[in-house]
Amino acid sequence: TPLPHPPRRYTPRHVKRYLPLLALAAIALAHVLPYLLSGTAPAANDYGSSAIPAMASLTGRVPFFGAPAWNPFVFTGAPAEVFAAMPRYPLNVLAYLLRPETALLLFIAIHLALAAKGAWFFTRRFAGTSETAATIGALAYAFGGALWFRGQHPDYLAVAAWMPFVLWSAWE
């Protein structure tokens, strides 16, 4: 005899609720996955001339404490904190441990996901939108092109990724 109801698949409520956020993180990873799988990195423009060399300046050093404090080769000397390497930024720890090309790609993926999640939470809270509308807003902010191109300048990308959280906290 057939069952009166088809068996229900169990999905925890919190997983179902945050499924859009998991999807946004997957999209962020998908942006850099072709490069990661091929073992290459974008090297045109400022990727090759600025971002990858900046990450290379950290490779093999002791995280945060072994970071260079001064760069004598730029503008007759400047603090290393103001350049793309961001030696003491906590989410840049992979630059100390991995090849600079890989570290930069993962840095981009992490910050695109962070920007998307921040935009999602901000639009949900501030505008009071539905989850679908918040997902569309997060897609537009994080993957509309402007932030992807900021990967050439990791310091700009990091600021743009945290901006929805800053705005969210300002309205709280």
Q: What average pLDDT does range 18-47 have in this prediction? A: 87
What pTM was computed for the model?
0.84
Three-state DSSP at 142 gives helix
- Measured CA to CA, the distance from residue 7 to residue 10 in angstroms comes to 9
At 35-94, the pLDDT tens digits run 999 988 887 777 777 788 888 888 888 888 888 788 776 667 778 777 778 888 999 999
